[in-house]
Amino acid sequence: MSILFYERPPFVAKDPGPMTVSSCQAYVDRTSKHKRSIPPDLSFENIVQNKAMPPCSRQDFMEYLVYVSHDAENLQFWLWYEDYSRRFFAASKSEQALSPSWYKAEVPRPHSNDSNQTSATVFERENPLNTGGMTSQELRFDHISRPSSPNLSHVDTQSLASTTSTTLYHAESVEDADTPMGLKCKSFIIQPFRSEINRVISHYLNPGSSRELNLSSKDRAAVLQALEHTTHPSALTLVKDMVEASLRGQSHPNFIRWAICNGNKPRVLFVRNSGIAHIVAAVILGLPLILSHASRWWRFFVFPLFFVGFDISVAAYKGLCVIIHTSHRRALRPWEQFSENVSLTSFDVGPEEEAYLSTDDMFSMVSRSRNGVSLDTFGTSNSYSHEVWVEKYKQKHLFEKIFTKSIWVQEQAVRLLQDKIVKQSHAWALIISLLLTALVVALPQADVI
């Protein structure tokens, strides 16, 4: 029965306006109810650690965020933060002492329904250096089971965990109160990674920056104030938690839902309309047989039309083309069909080798040449309107868009999900077609024709 009622991860719509703790927590809570739709091999950890194969690799995830959901800056910032935390806690103790923790607080984690984990909550915390006494909410993530980052050693993980405490304190010690302001400013300048933090501010936090995170003015001001005093990773915890919750609760399930589809939009619409045409043909065939003097056994010929129509329609409703699924292939995405400044000569292959390269081989080579471009921490905005493929794809004929080249689906977990959806379409098509055919056969002859 699980095949009959399997559903892809539901689409999680973005809340209007900037990211907030409540909206990010809502993403996580909503997604946790449908976590069984995503197999462990396609978990968030496996994707960001690049353990999954295409079309669910980390590069595929980044391309989805750039070209489809248009919020790639979240993943770019999160990957930088994970690496920055590792490097910060690998620095010498004397360097770390120059950048004390901004606060000590329980570091939250996303929601999970596992029995050995606690439930998600949201609590208020006070910013100890905020003279206005303002408070802000912090996400609770302590209820998710997640392995530590591959970039963090056991010692680094313990260092990060040592910052989790319910006690809040000022980043500046009591002795610093008597320190001249000039010496304080000098200590800020010599803090480790200060130039890198300044680049992060100019790329992700300042209003109008190239990869500006969608933060509220209140949260942005709080984080910028924290970074004025320290380069400790704890100064960015609020932003990191919201970004991670958005990635886990909204971007990741939507990406898996999108990656399961093996056809592009024109092809899926074509297949869906073909299915509807088969169903209409079955009705058109059945009506004359009911109204005529012909034997009712001729009405069984509506069954194959009903079956084919409902089969491909149910699969197309979930983004699958049954035809290319038979070979476990998927249509190339628009940006995969054209590459800038990439030719086979750049891979040191001659005309003889080029003639024997398959579409899969060529695409794999092009993918390697593009890999990591949008994963860079610092760079231009994630806009793609200037890329060559945009205009070229617009100029393609509709027929070419429908019957575009395809490539083999490498990730086994995706193939298994696609198999389950196709079997589900077969099962539902068989049930519905049998019922409708039985109804058509059972109707009495009208003897009109």
Q: What percent of the chain has pLDDT over 90?
A: 59
Strands 329-331 and 406-408: antiparallel
Specify whether the CB–CB gap between 74 and 215 falls below 8 A. no
Reported as a single tens digit per residue, the pLDDT across 373-399 is: 467 888 888 999 889 999 999 999 999
Residue with tokens 């095949």: 3
Instruction: Tell me phi and psi for residue 408, to 5 degrees.
Output: -70, 140
Q: What is the mean pLDDT of residues 65-90?
A: 96
3-state SS of 216-262 is CHHHHHHHHHHHHHCCCHHHHHHHHHHHHHHHHHHHHHHHHHHHHCC
- Whole-number Å distance between alpha carbons of 308 and 278: 7
Q: Which carries the bigger pLDDT value, residue 331 or residue 151?
A: 331
Whether 22 has a pLDDT exceeding 70, the answer reads yes
- Kindly list the distances between the CA atom of residue 275 and the CA atoms of 268, 326, 355, 402, in Å, as whole numbers in the listed order: 11, 17, 38, 15
- Whole-number Å distance between alpha carbons of 37 and 19: 25
Reported as a single tens digit per residue, the pLDDT across 43-55 is: 999 999 999 999 9
- Whole-number Å distance between alpha carbons of 377 and 54: 22
Nearest to 266 by CA among 301, 203, 316, 305: 316
Q: Which residues contact 11 (CB under 8 A, 6 or more apart)?
A: 254, 257
Q: What is the mean pLDDT of residues 241-267?
A: 95
Tell me what pLDDT residue 183 has.
36
Tell me what pLDDT residue 375 has.
77
Tell me what pLDDT residue 374 has.
66
Confidence of residue 272 (pLDDT cuts 50, 70, 90): very high
Specify whether the CB–CB gap between 306 and 284 falls below 8 A. no
Highest mean pLDDT among 99-103, 110-114, 315-319, 355-359: 315-319
Tell if the pTM clears 0.75, that is, is over it. Answer: yes
- Whole-number Å distance between alpha carbons of 258 and 198: 36
Angle between helical axes of 265-291 and 302-317 (0-180°, round to 10): 150
- Whole-number Å distance between alpha carbons of 441 and 111: 52
Tell me what pLDDT residue 449 has.
64
Q: What is the mean pLDDT of residues 120-145?
A: 40
Reported as a single tens digit per residue, the pLDDT across 282-309 is: 999 999 999 888 888 899 999 999 999 9
Confidence of residue 3 (pLDDT cuts 50, 70, 90): low
The identity of residue 356, as a single letter, is Y
Q: What is the mean pLDDT of residues 350-360?
A: 44
Angle between helical axes of 252-260 and 412-442 (0-180°, round to 10): 60
Confidence of residue 36 (pLDDT cuts 50, 70, 90): confident
Whether 357 has a pLDDT exceeding 50, the answer reads no
Specify whether the CB–CB gap between 310 and 275 falls below 8 A. yes
Q: Which residues contact 58 (CB under 8 A, 6 or more apart)?
A: 47, 48, 49, 50, 52, 375
Q: What is the DSSP string of 316-369?
A: HHTT--HHHHTTTEEEPPGGGS--TT--GGGGT--HHHHHT--HHHHHHHHHHH
Confidence of residue 445 (pLDDT cuts 50, 70, 90): confident
Whether 350 has a pLDDT exceeding 80, the answer reads no
Q: Which carries the bigger pLDDT value, residue 353 or residue 313?
A: 313
Reported as a single tens digit per residue, the pLDDT across 403-417 is: 999 999 999 999 999
| Least confident segment among 24-28, 218-222, 344-348, 351-355 | 344-348
Whether 115 has a pLDDT exceeding 70, the answer reads no
- Whole-number Å distance between alpha carbons of 49 and 40: 13
The identity of residue 163, as a single letter, is T
Specify whether the CB–CB gap between 56 and 256 falls below 8 A. yes
Residues listed for the chain: 449
- Whole-number Å distance between alpha carbons of 242 and 31: 15
Q: What is the mean pLDDT of residues 427-441?
A: 96
What average pLDDT does the structure give for the chain? Answer: 78
Q: What is the mean pLDDT of residues 56-74?
A: 95
Specify whether the CB–CB gap between 35 and 112 falls below 8 A. yes
Q: What is the mean pLDDT of residues 82-90?
A: 96
**The dihedral sign for the CA sequence 214, 219, 220, 224:** negative
The identity of residue 330, as a single letter, is R
Whether 27 has a pLDDT exceeding 50, the answer reads yes
Tell me what pLDDT residue 95 has.
92
Nearest to 316 by CA among 243, 378, 263: 263
As a whole number of Å, the end-to-end CA separation of the chain is: 43
Q: Which residues contact 401 (CB under 8 A, 6 or more apart)?
A: 264, 266, 267, 393
Residue with tokens 């290319």: 324
Tell me what pLDDT residue 71 has.
94
Q: What is the mean pLDDT of residues 259-270?
A: 95
- Whole-number Å distance between alpha carbons of 421 and 320: 8
Tokens of 215: 């933060």
Reported as a single tens digit per residue, the pLDDT across 201-241 is: 999 999 999 999 999 999 999 999 999 999 999 999 999 99
Q: Which carries the bigger pLDDT value, residue 90 or residue 164?
A: 90
Reported as a single tens digit per residue, the pLDDT across 147-189 is: 444 443 333 333 333 333 222 333 333 334 334 434 344 456 7
